[in-house]
Amino acid sequence: MAQGVAEGAKAVSGTSVVLNRVGEVTGNDLSSSDAVIVGSPVYFGNMSGEVKTFFDNWTLKFDLFRDRKMRNKVGGAFATGAGVSSGKEVTMLTILGAMLINQMIVVSGGGGFGASATTGPDSPGIDEKEVAESRELGKRVAEVAALVKRGSTK
């Protein structure tokens, strides 16, 4: 899914993409970006503990919250879960909620809340439709980020 998101974002002219696991992201990575797309597996209808720690670090470790350093950056979300209805939409909403609290501009793409895939033990793996949704999410976030950036230079 993350690879598909990156491919979609790269399809937008002038876009640079950095693909990292949340545990590898630094405060400088976030403050220097125009957009952030976060994905998570579903854990009991919520983001994983590692992704939750990543968002907690925006305040606790990276000090991004106090001066609203993420304000007006564009955000998007994607999720994977074991079943067709395993809480993927709720997980994406928790990710988008964390972004909204940081005054980011959130957009969807691929699906209503982002992109999602069914990846459980009975699943054959991420299919082409799900990869296409992730590409669409990456493309849409990059397009909106370019619009926001252009508008901020006027």
Tens-binned pLDDT, residue by residue, of the chain (154 aa): 999 999 999 999 999 999 999 999 999 999 999 999 999 999 998 999 999 999 999 998 999 998 999 999 999 999 999 877 789 999 999 999 999 999 999 999 988 899 999 987 877 889 999 999 999 999 999 999 999 998 875 4
What does the alpha-carbon distance between residue 74 and residue 33 come to, in Å, rounded to a whole number?
Answer: 9
**pLDDT at residue 111, rounded to an integer:** 85
What does the alpha-carbon distance between residue 54 and residue 85 come to, in Å, rounded to a whole number?
Answer: 25
pTM attached to this predicted model? 0.93
The crossing angle, in degrees rounded to 10, of helices 128-152 and 2-10 is: 50
**pLDDT at residue 83, rounded to an integer:** 79
Tokens 């054959």: give the residue.
124
What does the alpha-carbon distance between residue 107 and residue 140 come to, in Å, rounded to a whole number?
Answer: 8
Exposure letters 18-39 (e unless 16+ CB within 10 A, then b): eeeebeebeeeebeebbbbbbb
**pLDDT at residue 154, rounded to an integer:** 47
To the question of domain 2-152 being in CATH 3.40.50.150, the answer is no
What does the alpha-carbon distance between residue 93 and residue 88 come to, in Å, rounded to a whole number?
Answer: 9
Q: How many CB atoms lie within 10 A of CB 8?
A: 28
* Token code pair at residue 88: 């993927």
**pLDDT at residue 121, rounded to an integer:** 81
